[in-house]
Chains A and B, each alone.
Chain A
Amino acid sequence: MLASVQTGITRLRDHYLFQNLRKGLRLYFSDRITVMMAIGFMFILLLGVFGPMIAPYDPGTRHADEDGQLIRMSPPTADHPLGTTEGGKDVLSRLLYGTRPTIITGLMGGFTIVGLGLLIGVSAGYFGGTTDSILMRITDFAYGIPIIPTAILVIALLGMGFWSTIFIIGALLWRGNARVFRSQVLQIKEREHVRAARISGASSVYIIARHILPNIAGMIVLFFALGTGLTIIISASLAFLGFLNPFTPSWGIMIRNAYGSGVPLDAWWWTLPPGLAISFTVLIIIMLGRGYERVHNTDVNQIG
């Protein structure tokens, strides 16, 4: 039993996918900036997973001092390293608890954006003809739809909630990458190795899976990263504008509440941390995506 597991592992280790992965990862991390960004991202992920556990307080607890007075709008102290909110809640705890929903929303949004973009872009590019025309007209239409008014509409119909947010963002923002994917596919489709497979009679599914997608992988990862970053920013904007559930302590909501206090500039310990957190997270994610794209291009450009 053990022996067969061992041979299984060896065979896996020698499999070309694994080898490619190793080579790929090594190349990926050859750039110092990417390594720094990866470390940053690990940190954020850890915060997302363990945040609630390391937070000193529950995010909803209103803190009172010895006199029973709520500690409102307190600048950073030893007890509350990032101060308190207007309602006496600890900012640091809210920040840490807020990591998870922010990141999850971001990733889901990124997935949807890239997923839809791929579906539409690749179909249009590969199948051409009327399919292409129809899909591209749909894309053109999507470009015309403004986000905020649509958000209002969707929330009016579906109510506030996580899935509404994803729906709004995903259903509109795929439009940017669909076009790009389509033009890449148009180009790759004419390469001789794809034509050879097509002429031989390979199925479209096979060709798309084995010839087209691997050759746009870099772009897919990049757009995924961009999509995630964009989602985080837009959901923060939507939160700020009041379209999201105010009780989930995401970073966007924090900014909203800070703004709502009337004195956002004074209470910098409340306003700045979530803002900076959003900026840094988005930056890191995008840089990671760029890192992959750089690798993908180097690899492919090693043609003699």
Chain B
Amino acid sequence: MATELTERENEAAPVMEVRNVEKHFDPSSNVIEKLRARLSPDSRSKIRAVDGVDLTLEKEQVQGVIGESGCGKSTLLLTLIGEHLPSEGELLYKGNPVSEFSKADWKQFRREVQIIFQDPFNAINPHFTVRQTLKEPLRIHNIDQTEERIREVLEQVQLRPAEQYIDRHESELSGGEKQRVAIARALIVDPEVILADEPVSMLDVSTQASVLELLEDLTTEYGASMMYVSHDLSTVSYVCDRVNVMYLGRLVEKAPTKEIINNPKHPYTQALIRAIPIPDPHFEREWTQIKGAVGDAQDLPTGCRFKDRCPERMDICDERPLLRPVDGDGGHEAACHLYYDHEDVVAASATDGHAGVDAE
């Protein structure tokens, strides 16, 4: 379908790019508080769910974002799909800024970027049959609602034979089957990007494996890119080429999956990996040394947000660490003062005349 957006497509550009995106939420719930917030903007009162994130998703790449609850990963995903508009920063799709999208551009974006949610139990309208669930996106995007397309996509998600499933209602499907229908609903419009928000965390373990396999195949067979968000590094590592680690709204480390697991640099990533239970009674894993809980998203400290829990804390950590490459050139970056000299870097960019080095 040749549309304006496709014509303006930059072949070499990454499929999706996020530049210094921030997303703030206003925690006030009533008119008076809202008014007060508008009159005296005090940045402390906002919830900075996503606070300066840079990401680049290439074609046919699978990237993961991991982090614990409250880190902002779900908000990030919803910003990528256009449900939230970024408070600051830019989202680019195929090289074009989303803020400059025309209505037609949005229509195309909504078709080409699809999302799979975490909860399979509310993912399907209980009044719809599988057929109706799958027809809906076709209808919304004005694609031919042929029976054949529906059958085909059901086969693709391993719901075989398709006839057996096509007339079923939500109550007649198991959790894994429901999630597959949700995936089919995303696939049926031939997306370019699939965003997945913890798609297997509510499934039984015996089903998780097959859904993960399915997701893995999606990118290789259908040439789609995927952004996979989760709190569970074990499943993320199964599907993703690269992993981004998020903490309280910021990315603290980015690397290829193997690197993150074998060679984590940021103390938070290290703590995260060391805290994963190993299904082996012979292996004596050490319990975590980290104390406390993830901080409050509203009352954030200046500088590194992990500093209050970090075993390697230094004085310089009161300055916000920059995301910088660490050893090797395998695309491994970490935002930690352990790996670079903050003052040197700041001085260097100042003399370079580069504006916009964020230090707090």
Contact = CB atoms under 8 A, between A and B. Distances in A.
Interface of A: 16, 20, 133, 191-202, 206, 210-211, 214-215, 299-300, 302-304
B140 A200 contact: yes
Contacts of B133: 193
Given A215-B127, A300-B126, 9 more contacts: A133-B31, A193-B123, A199-B115, A200-B114, A200-B141, A201-B140, A201-B141, A214-B125, A303-B121
A211 B171 contact: no
B124 A193 contact: yes
B117 A202 contact: no
A303 B117 contact: no
Contacts of A197: 136, 140
Task: Give the interface SS of chain A, mostly helix, strand, loop or mixed.
Answer: helix
B270 interface: no
B126 A215 contact: yes
Contacts of B129: 16
Contacts of A206: 140
28 contacts: A192-B122, A192-B182, A193-B124, A193-B125, A193-B128, A193-B133, A194-B125, A196-B115, A196-B117, A196-B185, A197-B140, A198-B83, A199-B81, A199-B110, A200-B110, A200-B141, A201-B107, A201-B110, A201-B140, A202-B136, A202-B140, A214-B125, A214-B127, A215-B126, A303-B121, A303-B171, A304-B171, A304-B174
Nearest to B186: A196
Contacts of B170: 303
B182 to A, nearest CB: 8
B214 to A, nearest CB: 18
Given A199-B82, A210-B125, A302-B171, A192 B110 contact: no
Contacts of B60: none
B155 to A, nearest CB: 21
Nearest to B167: A16
Contacts of B223: none
Nearest to A197: B136
A87 B251 CA distance: 89
Contacts, number: 67
Contacts of A211: 125
Contacts of B173: 304
Nearest to A130: B31
A303 B126 contact: yes
Nearest to A190: B122
Contacts of B81: 199
A193 B122 contact: yes
A214 B117 CA distance: 22
Interface string B61-87: 000000000000000000001110000
Contacts of B175: 304
A198 B174 CA distance: 25
A195 B117 contact: yes
Nearest to A203: B140
B54 interface: no
A50 B278 CA distance: 78
Contacts of A215: 125-127
A199 B136 CA distance: 12
A206 B31 CA distance: 30
A197 B140 CA distance: 8
B106 interface: yes
Contacts of A214: 125, 127
A214 B124 CA distance: 13
Contacts of B124: 193
B95 interface: no
B140 A195 contact: no
A304 B174 CA distance: 7
A192 B119 contact: yes
B194 to A, nearest CB: 13
Contacts of B325: none
Contacts of B89: none
B137 interface: yes
Indicate the member of B82, B132, B170 with the most A CB atoms within 10 Å: B170
A215 B127 CA distance: 8
Contacts of B174: 304
B272 to A, nearest CB: 27
Interface string B160-177: 000000000011011100
Interface in B136-163: 136-137, 140-141
Interface in B16-30: none
Contacts of A16: 129, 132
Contacts of A199: 81-83, 110, 115
Nearest to A201: B110
A157 to B, nearest CB: 35
A198 B114 CA distance: 12
A193 B171 CA distance: 14
Contact of A200 (B31, B119, B137): B137
A212 B312 CA distance: 52
